[in-house]
Amino acid sequence: MNDNDRAGSPGAEEDFAALFESTPQGTGRFDPGQVIEAEVVKITPEWILLNVGAKGEGFLEKREMLDDAGALLVKEGDKVRAYFLSGKNNELRFTTRLGSSPVGYSQLEVACREGIPVEGTIVREMKGGFEVKIRGCDRAFCPFSQMGLGREEDKAAFVGKSLVFKVTECKERNVVLSRREMVAAKRKERVEELRATLKEGLRVKGKVTSIQEFGAFVDIGGVEGLLPVSEIAWTRTEKVGDVLSVGQTLELSIKKLDWENGKFSFSRKDLLPDPWANAEKQWPLGSYHDGAVTKLAPFGAFVRLRDGVEGLLPISKLGMDRRIGHPREVLDQGQAVEVRIEAVDGKNRKISLSLGSVGRAREEDAATLKAYRAKASNASSGLATLGELLGQKLGLPENKKD
C-alpha cells in the first residue's frame, strides 16, 4: 500500500461502523474499540505507522497527532495510545478519536458502545450544559456536571474550544457527551507523577481556583489543595477576597500532603519574612511604641505594633485608678495609642503592654522621687522638702527666708 493509496484509504469517506461490523470478532488480534499502546515506527506525509505486535501493520492518521498550529506531537520511537477500528488485508486501522473526519450517527453509536473518544467543538452555553458540534452530524449536548470543570472555572471561556469527549448516549439523534471521567483520569495520572516529586516543605507555584471564607483553593499543576486563611499572611486576614483573587499565581510552601485521602494544604506566609524574628531586640522591655487598636475583648485590647505583630493591653492596666468593665470604656477599635512594653515572649509570640501615658507618668514620678532622695542625702543643711522639689520642677518661685 503506497502513500497515495493510504491517503485515499479509509478516512473521511469510509463508514467506520461498517468496518467495525466487517471485522471478525475474536480473531486473536484486536477487537473493535480495543485500546492499545504502540510504538511509532514510521511517519509518512499522511500516516503514522505503529508497531502493534501482530501480523500486519498498524495505521493511524497523521492529522490526529497535530496540534492547533499544525505541529506534529509525536516522533519515531514515541508511544501512542490508540483504539482499534478495523482490519483489512493485513492493515490494522487505529484512531485516537473520532471527529477529525466527518462522522455519522452510526459511527457515534460505535463510539458510544466501544468507548472511543470523539472530538467536538463547543458552540454555545445553554441551560444545564454546552451545545457541542461534531463534524458530519447534528449538535450534541454535554451537561455541566459532565464537563469536569474545576471550582469557579469560567464556563464562557470554553465556547469555541475543540475538546475530546466520550459518547454516553446516542439514541434517536439524542447525543449526550461527557468529559468528566477523562478529565479525572488525566488528573489522576498527573497526581501520580507529582507524588514522586512533591515533598512537604517544598516551594511551589500555584494558581488560585476558588475563594472561600476559610481560605483559597490552589492548583499547583495537577494537585489542588487548600491555602487556609491562617496561612495567607502573618497579619490577620479578615476577608480572603481582599488579599487574593481567582486566577492569581502564588508562591507557596507545601504544608501537608495526604495522598491517601486526597487532601493537600499550603502556606504562603511561610515564605514571607517572620515579623516576630528577634522580637526581644525589636521591642525591648520598657520601650515605648505607637500602635493601633485592632480588637477589643472583655479581657483587654489587642494593639498592632507592626504588620503581623500584636500585643495585649490587659483590662487591668486600662482603668488608671478606677475599675472598668470593658476596654471600650477607654479605647476605640482603630484608635492610635502609645504603649509601653511590659513583657516579650518571642517563642510563643506574645507581648504584654501597658498604656504609654501611664508608664511615662510613673517614670516621671519615680525620677522626681529619685532626685529628691539624691538631693536630701547630699545636702549638709537646709534639706529641701519633696514639695520644694516639685515646685522647682513646675517652675514655682522659692519661699524666701527672712
CATH number at residue 300: 2.40.50.140
- For the chain, the average pLDDT equals 81
Q: What is the DSSP string of 112-133?
A: HHHT--EEEEEEEEETTEEEEE
Q: What is the DSSP string of 308-336?
A: TEEEEEEGGGTSTTS--SSGGGT--TT-E
Highest mean pLDDT among 34-43, 106-115, 385-394: 34-43
Q: Is the pLDDT of residue 26 over 50?
A: no
Task: Specify whether 62 is located in the same domain as 112.
Answer: no
Task: Specify whether 178 is located in the same domain as 207.
Answer: no
- In the numeric block, the cell 517572620 is attached to 274
Looking at 95, 116, 144, the residue that finishes a domain is 95
C-alpha cell at 27: 480473531
Q: Could you tell me the residue range of the domain that residue 141 belongs to? A: 105-183
pLDDT recorded at residue 299? 93
Q: Is the pLDDT of residue 217 over 90?
A: yes
Q: CB of 101 within 8 A of CB of 135?
A: yes
Q: Which helix (H) or strand (E) holds 9?
A: none
Residue 401 within any structural domain of the chain: no
Task: Specify whether 80 is located in the same domain as 13.
Answer: yes
pLDDT recorded at residue 18? 53
Q: Is the pLDDT of residue 228 over 50?
A: yes
Return d(Cα 155, Cα 109) in angstroms, integer: 28
The arithmetic mean of pLDDT across residues 25-52, rounded, is 79
Q: What is the pLDDT of residues 370-395, one digit of tens each?
A: 776 777 666 644 545 556 656 666 66
Count the domains in the chain. Answer: 5
Q: Which helix (H) or strand (E) holds 221?
A: none
Looking at 65, 95, 125, the residue that finishes a domain is 95
Residue 128 within any structural domain of the chain: yes
**pLDDT-based confidence at 9, cuts 50/70/90?**
very low
pLDDT recorded at residue 385? 59
Question: pLDDT higher for 164 or 362?
Answer: 164
Task: Specify whether 217 is located in the same domain as 235.
Answer: yes
Q: Is the pLDDT of residue 339 over 50?
A: yes
Q: Which residues contact 279 (CB under 8 A, 6 or more apart)?
A: 309, 344, 346, 349, 351
